């Protein structure tokens, strides 16, 4: 079943297309890395899919009502905002907002979803700590836990691994990979191509608002694409541990 269908989606800033006729489908169980240089339109594309920006073309999520959409797709913005010194528990419980009727108390199922998300992100024991007093990386994990607690078929995350230590970068990607085993799909924008190459089942390469390549990591991370889009050379090797990607030099 398709979780997301985009056809000819464009976002214009005045008359300049920031996202230019993007079409793709997301089916169940995919971990998709959305890659591209700064300003390629990754965040804009994700925000348009969520209905946070006006766009032209078709997005299946746009047909859903606001509350249906909140139960279908979860969103982790790049700006990691935690405005008030709430506990980690309270913060992660915000992911249950779309599932709670106005003013309803969280049910046993809600509490379990929150507890699972907290332990998935390695935050067990942090439940009663104030989220604003955690380190940057711990806050990022708490916010990822909030997204997991929302328990939606589709997760969109904007650079969720930025600022995490190597161990937690890997944990985060593994948590996403585990989520895809139950049929969920995750669409993450990221700059760490090595991490993307190892964990994503599919990469979508954006350049100047358009899709340049879409497919398995080794078919997307070709020397030609890397030169054209990022202006770099890289060492790419298929090993027993999976695809290894290491950027080498900037092309002049």
Partner 1 sequence: MRVFVILSALVVILFGASLLIGPAGFGPAESLRALLGEQGDAVTLVMREIRLPRAILGVMVGISLGLSGAALQGYLRNPLAEPGLIGVSGSAALGAVIALQTGVAASFALALPLAALTGALIAVFLILALAGPRGGSLTLILAGIAISALAGALTSLALNLSPNPFAVSEIIFWMMGSLADRSFTHVWLALPFMAVGWVLLARLGRGLDALTLGEDAAEALGIRLDRLRLMLVLGVAASVGAATAVAGAIGFVGLVVPHMLRPFVGARPGALLWASALGGAAMVLAADIAVRLVLPDRDLQLGVLMAIVGAPLFLHLIYKTRRQL
Give the interface with partner 1 as residue ranges (CB under 8 A): 47, 50-52, 66-67, 69-71, 73-77, 79, 81-87, 90-91, 94-95, 97-98, 100, 102-103, 130, 143, 146, 150
To partner 1, the closest distance from the beta carbon of 217 in angstroms equals: 28
Residue 124 DSSP one-character state: T
Is 52 or 227 the residue whose CB approaches partner 1 more closely?
52
Helix (H), strand (E) counts: the chain: 9, 11
Q: In whole angstroms, how close is the CB of 207 to partner 1 at the nearest point?
A: 24
- Beta carbons of 218 and 64 less than 8 angstroms apart: no
Minimum CB separation of residue 182 from partner 1 in Å reads 21
- Identify which of residues 35 and 70 has a Cβ nearer to partner 1 in the complex: 70
Tell me the closest approach of the beta carbon of residue 245 to partner 1, in angstroms: 30
* Contacting residues for 174 by C-beta, under 8 A, at least 6 apart: 199
CB 142 within 8 A of CB 132: no
Q: Min. distance of Cβ 129 from partner 1 in angstroms?
A: 12
**C-beta of 43 vs 172, nearer to partner 1:** 43
Of 142 and 243, the one with the shorter C-beta distance to partner 1 is 142
Q: Pick the closer one to partner 1 by CB: 155 or 234.
A: 155
Question: What DSSP letter does each residue of 205-247 carry, written as one string?
Answer: EEETTEEEEEESHHHHS-HHHIIIII-EEEEEEEETTEEEEEE
User: Quick one: DSSP state of residue 54?
Assistant: -
* Nearer of residues 86 and 232 to partner 1, judged by Cβ: 86
Q: CA–CA separation, 23 vs 129, rounded Å?
A: 43
Structural contact between residues 59 and 84, judged by C-beta atoms closer than 8 angstroms: no
**CB of 239 vs partner 1, minimal distance in Å:** 38
Q: Could you tell me if 233 and 249 are in contact, meaning their C-beta atoms sit under 8 angstroms apart?
A: yes
Q: What are phi and psi of 144, to 5 degrees?
A: -65, -40
């Amino acid at each position: 079943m398709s979780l997301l269908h985009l056809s000819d989606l464009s976002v214009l800033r005045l008359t300049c297309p920031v996202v230019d006729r993007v079409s793709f489908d997301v089916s169940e169980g995919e971990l998709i890395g959305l890659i591209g240089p700064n300003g390629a339109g990754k965040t804009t594309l994700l925000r348009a899919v969520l209905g946070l920006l006006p766009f032209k073309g078709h997005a299946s999520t746009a047909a859903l009502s606001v509350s249906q959409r909140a139960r279908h797709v979860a969103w982790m913005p790049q700006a990691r905002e935690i405005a008030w010194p709430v506990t980690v528990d309270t913060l992660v419980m915000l992911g249950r907002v779309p599932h709670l009727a106005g003013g309803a108390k969280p049910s046993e199922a809600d509490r379990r979803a929150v507890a699972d998300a907290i332990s998935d992100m390695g935050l067990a024991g942090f439940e009663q700590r104030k989220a604003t007093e955690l380190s940057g990386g711990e806050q990022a994990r708490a916010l990822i836990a909030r997204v997991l607690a929302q328990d939606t078929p589709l997760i969109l995350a904007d650079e969720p691994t930025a600022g995490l230590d190597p161990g937690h970068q890997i944990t985060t990607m593994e948590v996403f990979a585990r989520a895809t085993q139950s049929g969920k799909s995750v669409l993450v924008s990221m700059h760490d191509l090595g991490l993307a190459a190892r964990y994503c089942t599919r990469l979508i390469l954006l350049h100047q608002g358009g899709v340049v390549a879409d497919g398995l990591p080794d078919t997307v991370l070709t020397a030609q694409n890397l030169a054209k889009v990022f202006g770099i050379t890289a060492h790419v090797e298929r090993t027993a541990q999976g695809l290894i990607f290491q950027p080498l030099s900037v092309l002049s």
